Chains A and B, each alone.
Chain A
Amino acid sequence: MGSSPLLEVKGLSKAFPGVQALSLVDFDVNAGEVHCLIGENGAGKSTLVKILAGAQPQDAGSIVLDGKEVSFNNPLDAQLAGIACIFQELNVVGGLTIAENIVLGSEPTRMGFFDKGAAQKIAQDLLTEIGFSEIDETQICGGLSTSEKQAVMIAKALRQNAKIIIMDEPTSPLEDAEVRKLFNVIQKLKSAGKGIIYVSHKMREIDELGDRITVFKDGAQVATVTRGEANSEDLVRLMVGRQINEMFPEKTHTPGDVVLKVRQISGPKIRNVSLEVRRGEVLGVGGLDGAGRTELLRSIFGADPVRQGSIEVDGRNIPLNSTAASIRAGLALVPEERRSQGLIPVLSVYENAALVWDEYPDRRASSDPKPRAIGDVISRLNVKTPSLSQRISKLSGGNQQKVVLSKWLLAETTVLLLDEPTRGIDVGAKREIYQIMCELAQQGMAIVVVSSELPELLGLADRIIVMNSGEIVGELPGDTSEEEIVALSMTHGTPSTRAQNEK
């Protein structure tokens, strides 16, 4: 480690109308260090990241990179100065090959023409350097997994000689094995002397990666600690200003009669799935990404095609492949992709909450007039919004999710299907959503929740089914261990499924 930090931020401040997003933040990153940023949404960490990435100008304060004071007018300036950002929405060009993406903007040429061979060599070298040598650099980027796209972006950052690499929640779309791989890459970047700023909500990752950890709260930096100085409990306390001993409310709900019966349904991505859920029960669905969990929820809801089988709600078969029929039967789906599927960004909080209310007058859960019914639910779920007419896209992820839930609570929902309900949501809001789920279960709602976060499954579910390759490979009690779920997730189903997979 050098004598002076690679990146040094002094007295950084930034105000938005009505909010002091950052006030007098001092922050630095050394070469070969992973510096984690944690804090609830709105705590200021993303504002800091945006300023460092050149996406927003600061009001006051200085940024010194490699001993030189820098200022950025746009993201390109920041990149040229050596700060690369691996954002959640990955900036790869689907129609170009991996090699072409990695050299994009600084292409090798021969006699004025694009030098394909040299580009491929550069790409392969960089991918090998970060431990992804098995990726074929001549492949088109469109078909890559998120993990591979991240690798492409990291290789590209290296191509652009980035000194500082910012990773914003890089693991949320990844499976466990891919997370391992990413961590190996981070170790390699560290030993290559890069400074890494790592933003995450996940305590386990921070424990493992963080050389130093800076905690943000309400736009101010509350503490910067070195590894080992504070445990997860301490960090969470610093973040929220209160001790969260129990992230999850106690399971006080008791399962009643069976309300949802799925019998042998099959579709393009699921095979022979049968399950039952009782009133007041939370059924967890585990498995790796691509195991068919999302498709299962969507199929039950009628949004993904079901070729055979039957679905029974409250003792009555419902027509398959029709979301309208599912809603009329009392099913509700909170999809994984909140922004693109859960809500309509251009509409207000009020209009988003009213979507189902307006479309299905006979399913309304309340006889109150619409404004009152909506107002009640919004305040019951503690949605933090300046007004009901606020555009929903302006709210934080947690509050957006609560509005999506409100939409369904305004209808007579008996079975709530939740797909990764807390993805990208900060700790405080997560806890609130868990609380809401438990209350709903207590009131007799049946809940099916898909989650990649094992503590979440264990903390919420009464029973956990595990999927692999579109089939249910086993069921575990709610008090099982993370290890058991992982082990089961890796288990393959019937030989016929295996044969299908190997094709």
Chain B
Amino acid sequence: MGMLKNSHNLQTVATLTVLVLMSAVFASFSDRFFTVSNFQNVMRNAAPLIIASCGMTAVMIARGLDLSVGSVLAAASVLAASLAVAGFPLYIAFALGVSFGAFVGLVNGLIIAKISVSPIIVTLGMLNITRGIAYLITPSAILVGLPGNWSDLGTSKVIGLPLPIVIAALVAMFFHVLMSQTTFGKRIYAVGGNEEAARLSGLNVSRTLILLYLLCGATAALAGIVLSSRVGVGDPNVGIGFELQVIAAVIIGGTSLSGGEGRIIGTIIGALIIAVLGNGLNLVGVEPFWQWVAQGTVLIVAIIVDRQVQDGVNRANK
């Protein structure tokens, strides 16, 4: 009884173990790794990834996929930055940036759910469109001349914690509660696990999907604003390949590619594994190109391990 629940816990323990082992290895190679400042640094770096991965987790549990998050991140951040340069109050610039992401997600969701086009194709198209929009907003490469308080969101601290970390934690908590404690959350699993059953149970499957893509777009945009606020510029080149990091974090965290399974806690660990990997390799002095190789390898290994664990549990079940 409850074997599958156990398999979730097992999964969490397994990914957590990988994170701890990886940290231990890096700590043994570099004494700068296990310091408070580096820890905060890792977390700050991981924050945009965690934020965007939360939205992606929900979409992927519903058996969807959003490849446009990297471009949405860029477009939303340069949109907010250019509004700030134009003299809009920051909160309005940020809110419009996030709304832009939500709008892109809405369009994704409408096309995917209402016209039944494959999410890969729709969001791949949207990846190009929004990247184009990012360059259209800031033709002159990097946007400078931002107001002084632009960086507050990315650099200030709340109760001793960097604000990006607090924002990521709040977003993660929101999604965790949404998915585990609400009716809507149950429906996400139902839509991803067995769409026909969901439909026959009276669920509005397309509305669920549209809302999920909207949330995913919004989290990607929020991630973009947090990122550009921390970096202090609006850069249309930011976030190229970010969608793959996000998807990797979600999959490493144990969300099934075929939908119906996955948890936010797993995704957070997945995002941390990616962040620690990047940070650790930097500290150890590995060339950036090798970091791509390492990230890809971790993703593939995670999927293989996941498969083995799943098979093991299935066998034990019988």
Instruction: List residues of A whose CB falls within 8 A of some B CB.
Output: 75-76, 79-80, 91-96, 100-101, 104-107, 109, 112-114, 136, 138-140, 142-143, 156, 160, 268
Q: How far is the CB of A82 from chain B (nearest CB, A)?
A: 13
- A104 (CB) vs chain B CBs: closest residue: B201
A268 to B2, CA, bound (A): 23
- B180 (CB) vs chain A CBs: closest residue: A114
Q: Does B193 contact A (CB under 8 A)?
A: yes
A23 to B51, CA, bound (A): 59
Instruction: List residues of B whose CB falls within 8 A of some A CB.
Output: 1-5, 181-183, 185-187, 189-190, 192-194, 196-203, 260-261, 315, 317
Residues of A within 8 A of B181 (CB): 113-114
Residues of B within 8 A of A92 (CB): 194, 197
Residues of A within 8 A of B315 (CB): 268
Residues of A within 8 A of B192 (CB): 95
Q: How far is the CB of A308 from chain B (nearest CB, A)?
A: 19
- B315 (CB) vs chain A CBs: closest residue: A268
Asked if A80 and B186 sit within 8 Å, CB to CB, the answer is: no
- B202 (CB) vs chain A CBs: closest residue: A105
A106 to B203, CA, bound (A): 9
Residues of A within 8 A of B194 (CB): 91-94
14 more contacts with CB within 8 A, not counting A104-B187, A114-B186, A160-B202, are A75-B199, A91-B196, A91-B197, A91-B200, A92-B197, A93-B260, A95-B4, A95-B189, A95-B192, A100-B189, A106-B202, A113-B181, A140-B3, A143-B317
The one of B4, B203, B317 in contact with A104, judged by C-beta atoms closer than 8 angstroms, is B203
Residues of A within 8 A of B193 (CB): 93-96
- A142 (CB) vs chain B CBs: closest residue: B4
- A105 (CB) vs chain B CBs: closest residue: B201
Residues of A within 8 A of B5 (CB): 140
Q: How far is the CB of B199 from chain A (nearest CB, A)?
A: 7
Leading 3 A-B pairs by shortest Cβ distance: A105-B201, A91-B197, A105-B202
Asked if B260 and A95 sit within 8 Å, CB to CB, the answer is: yes
Q: A80-B202, A94-B260, A96-B186 are in contact. Are A104 and B197 (CB under 8 A)?
A: yes
Asked if A114 and B1 sit within 8 Å, CB to CB, the answer is: no
A344 to B199, CA, bound (A): 27
A106 to B198, CA, bound (A): 11
Asked if A114 and B196 sit within 8 Å, CB to CB, the answer is: no
A465 to B181, CA, bound (A): 52
A93 to B1, CA, bound (A): 17
A421 to B182, CA, bound (A): 46
A20 to B273, CA, bound (A): 62
Q: A136-B1, A139-B1, A140-B4 are in contact. Are A93 and B185 (CB under 8 A)?
A: no
- A269 (CB) vs chain B CBs: closest residue: B318
Q: A91-B194, A94-B193, A139-B1 are in contact. Are A76 and B200 (CB under 8 A)?
A: yes
Q: A138-B2, A142-B4, A143-B4 are in contact. Are A100 and B200 (CB under 8 A)?
A: no
- A108 (CB) vs chain B CBs: closest residue: B183
Q: How far is the CB of B295 from chain A (nearest CB, A)?
A: 28
A140 to B317, CA, bound (A): 12
Asked if A114 and B185 sit within 8 Å, CB to CB, the answer is: yes
Interface secondary structure of A, over-half rule: loop
Asked if A79 and B260 sit within 8 Å, CB to CB, the answer is: no
Residues of B within 8 A of A156 (CB): 201
Q: How far is the CB of B47 from chain A (nearest CB, A)?
A: 27
A109 to B186, CA, bound (A): 12
- B203 (CB) vs chain A CBs: closest residue: A105
Residues of B within 8 A of A95 (CB): 4, 189, 192-193, 260-261
Q: How far is the CB of B185 from chain A (nearest CB, A)?
A: 7
Q: How far is the CB of B102 from chain A (nearest CB, A)?
A: 22
Residues of A within 8 A of B201 (CB): 104-105, 156
Asked if A76 and B202 sit within 8 Å, CB to CB, the answer is: yes
Residues of B within 8 A of A114 (CB): 181-183, 185-186
A94 to B66, CA, bound (A): 24
A143 to B4, CA, bound (A): 8
Q: How far is the CB of A297 from chain B (nearest CB, A)?
A: 18
- B186 (CB) vs chain A CBs: closest residue: A100
A498 to B37, CA, bound (A): 59
A106 to B200, CA, bound (A): 12
Q: How far is the CB of B318 from chain A (nearest CB, A)?
A: 8
A138 to B4, CA, bound (A): 11
Best-buried of A76, A79, A96 by chain B (most CB within 10 Å): A96
Residues of B within 8 A of A113 (CB): 181-183
Asked if B190 and A96 sit within 8 Å, CB to CB, the answer is: yes
Asked if A79 and B186 sit within 8 Å, CB to CB, the answer is: no
Q: How far is the CB of B104 from chain A (nearest CB, A)?
A: 28
- B2 (CB) vs chain A CBs: closest residue: A139
Q: How far is the CB of A446 from chain B (nearest CB, A)?
A: 31
Residues of A within 8 A of B198 (CB): 93, 104
Q: How far is the CB of A333 from chain B (nearest CB, A)?
A: 22
A104 to B187, CA, bound (A): 8
A139 to B2, CA, bound (A): 5
A156 to B189, CA, bound (A): 17
A95 to B3, CA, bound (A): 12
Asked if B200 and A93 sit within 8 Å, CB to CB, the answer is: no
A-B contact pairs, 20 of them (CB 8 A): A75-B199, A91-B194, A92-B194, A93-B189, A93-B194, A94-B260, A95-B260, A95-B261, A100-B189, A100-B190, A104-B186, A105-B203, A107-B186, A113-B182, A113-B183, A114-B182, A114-B186, A136-B2, A138-B2, A139-B1
Asked if B202 and A79 sit within 8 Å, CB to CB, the answer is: yes
A199 to B1, CA, bound (A): 33
Residues of B within 8 A of A79 (CB): 200, 202
Q: A80-B202, A106-B202 are in contact. Are A143 and B3 (CB under 8 A)?
A: yes
Asked if A104 and B1 sit within 8 Å, CB to CB, the answer is: no
A139 to B193, CA, bound (A): 16
Residues of A within 8 A of B187 (CB): 104
A101 to B194, CA, bound (A): 11
Residues of B within 8 A of A160 (CB): 202
Residues of A within 8 A of B200 (CB): 75-76, 79, 91
Residues of A within 8 A of B1 (CB): 136, 139
Asked if B197 and A93 sit within 8 Å, CB to CB, the answer is: yes
Residues of B within 8 A of A104 (CB): 186-187, 190, 197-198, 201, 203
A386 to B189, CA, bound (A): 42
A268 to B316, CA, bound (A): 12
Asked if A107 and B197 sit within 8 Å, CB to CB, the answer is: no
Q: How far is the CB of A256 from chain B (nearest CB, A)?
A: 39
Residues of B within 8 A of A136 (CB): 1-2
Q: How far is the CB of A480 from chain B (nearest CB, A)?
A: 30
A173 to B27, CA, bound (A): 56
Asked if A96 and B196 sit within 8 Å, CB to CB, the answer is: no
Asked if B202 and A112 sit within 8 Å, CB to CB, the answer is: no
A96 to B2, CA, bound (A): 11
Residues of A within 8 A of B261 (CB): 95
Residues of B within 8 A of A105 (CB): 201-203
A102 to B170, CA, bound (A): 32
